[in-house]
Amino acid sequence: MFALIALILVIMKSLNEFFLPIFIIKLGVTITNLHKRGGMDEETYAKFLEHSKTTHAMGRPGTVDELANAITFLASDLASFTTGASLPVDGGRNVMCPR
């Protein structure tokens, strides 16, 4: 993860002359069909989501709408002076101890 963040920051600095905002969005577990499309069965997915309640400070996985809201903010004029930011959209997973 740290190498990816460092890479993004290098890209941001090299594109600085073009005034392109560059962001890193760090996700927690988000409810989508990705796991099921990847072959996870319904029961295993339900257990995975239940376990997510213990690994996220907010006690639940996130939704696609919550992720979209963060992206919408970063793409809006409200974030016009923001670049190089690493935004955790993870329900506090980044502050929890690994389990």
**24 band by pLDDT with thresholds 50, 70 and 90:** confident
Assess whether pLDDT exceeds 70 at residue 17.
yes
Instruction: Give pTM, 2 decimals.
Output: 0.78
Q: Give the start-end residues of each E strand in 32-84.
A: none
CATH of the domain at 83: 3.40.50.720
Assess whether pLDDT exceeds 90 at residue 20.
no
Give per-residue burial for 14-48: e unless 16+ CB within 10 Å, then b: eeeeeeeebbbeeebbbbeeeeeeeeeeeeebeee
**Number of separate domains in the chain:** 1
| CA 93 to chain CA centroid, nearest Å | 10
**1 band by pLDDT with thresholds 50, 70 and 90:** low
Domain extent for 86: 2-95
C-alpha–C-alpha distance, residues 82 and 21, integer Å: 7
Q: Give 25-77 pLDDT, tens digit per residue.
A: 999 999 999 999 999 999 999 999 999 999 999 999 999 999 999 999 999 99
Tell me which residue of 94, 99, 86 sits closest to 24, measured CA to CA.
Answer: 86
